[in-house]
Chain A
Amino acid sequence: MAVQQSSRQAPLKRGTRAEGTGTRWRDELIGWGFVAPFLVAYAIFLIYPVLRMFEMSFTYNSLVGAGGSQFLGLANYKELFSDPAFWSSLWHTALFTILSTPPLVIIALVFAMLTNRIRFAQWFFRFTFFAPFILPVSVAALIWIWLYQPGFGLISSYLGVIGLGNVGWLTDANVAMISIVIMTVWWTVGFNFVLYLAGLQEIPRELYDAAAVDGATPLAQTRWITIPLLKRTTILVLTLQILASLKVFDQIYIMTYGGPNFSTRPVIEYFYDQGFTNYRVGFASAVSAVFFFVILAASVAWFMYSNRREAA
Chain B
Amino acid sequence: MAVETRNAAPDVQQKSPAVQEASMGGRRDKIGRVVAFVALLIMALIWLVPLAWAVDTSIKPESDTTAVPISWISSTFTLDAYKQIFAASSMLRWFFNSALTSVIVTAVVLVLASLAAYAFSRVPFRGRGVLFWVILAGLMIPPQMLIIPLFSEMQMFGFLNTYQGIILPQIASPLALFILKQFFDGIPQELEDSALVDGASRLRIYWQIWLPLARPAMAAVAIFTFVLSWNYFIWPLVVITSTDMMTIPLGLATVQSAYGIHYAQIMAAAVIGGLPLLIIFMFFQRQIVEGIANTGLKG
Q: Which residues of A contact B (CB under 8 A)?
A: 3-4, 7-8, 11-12, 14-15, 17-18, 27-28, 30-35, 37-39, 41-42, 44-50, 52-53, 56, 63, 111, 114-115, 117-119, 121, 123-132, 134-139, 141-147, 151-152, 154, 157, 186, 191, 194-195, 197-199, 202, 207, 209-216, 218, 224-225, 232-233, 236, 240, 243, 246-247, 249-250, 253-254, 268, 271-272, 275-276, 281, 284-285, 288, 291-292, 295-296, 299
Contacts and interface: CB of A to CB of B under 8 A. Distances in A.
Contacts of A126: 285, 289
Contacts of A141: 253
Contact of B125 (A30, A142, A154): A30
A47 B138 CA distance: 8
B40 A114 contact: yes
Given A118-B36, A218-B28, A292-B145, A272 B234 contact: yes
A58 to B, nearest CB: 13
Contacts of A295: 140, 142
A39 B112 CA distance: 9
User: Which of A11, A143, A299: most chain B Cβ within 10 A?
Assistant: A143
User: Which of B25, B53, B54: most chain A Cβ within 10 A?
Assistant: B25
A56 B145 CA distance: 13
A14 B196 contact: yes
B131 A53 contact: no
B142 A247 contact: yes
Contacts of B292: 191, 194-195, 198
Given A18-B124, A195-B296, A215-B21, A291 B169 contact: no
A119 B29 CA distance: 11
Contacts of A49: 146, 149-150, 153
A131 B51 contact: yes
| CB-CB nearest 10 A-B residue pairs | A31-B125, A198-B293, A34-B119, A138-B252, A49-B149, A38-B116, A52-B149, A212-B25, A41-B172, A31-B123
Interface size class of B (residues with CB under 8 A): 35 or more
Given A35-B119, A49-B149, A135 B278 contact: yes
Given A31-B124, A31-B125, A285-B148, A38 B115 contact: yes
Contacts of A146: 53-54, 57, 263, 266-267
Nearest to A221: B3
Contacts of B155: 63
B87 interface: no
Main SS of chain A's interface residues?
Answer: helix
Contacts of B119: 30-35
B111 A157 contact: no
B100 to A, nearest CB: 16
Contacts of B140: 295-296, 299
A249 B144 contact: yes
A290 to B, nearest CB: 10
A213 B145 contact: no
15 contacts: A30-B123, A38-B115, A38-B135, A44-B153, A63-B155, A126-B289, A127-B285, A135-B274, A136-B252, A136-B277, A139-B252, A186-B50, A194-B296, A214-B7, A236-B296
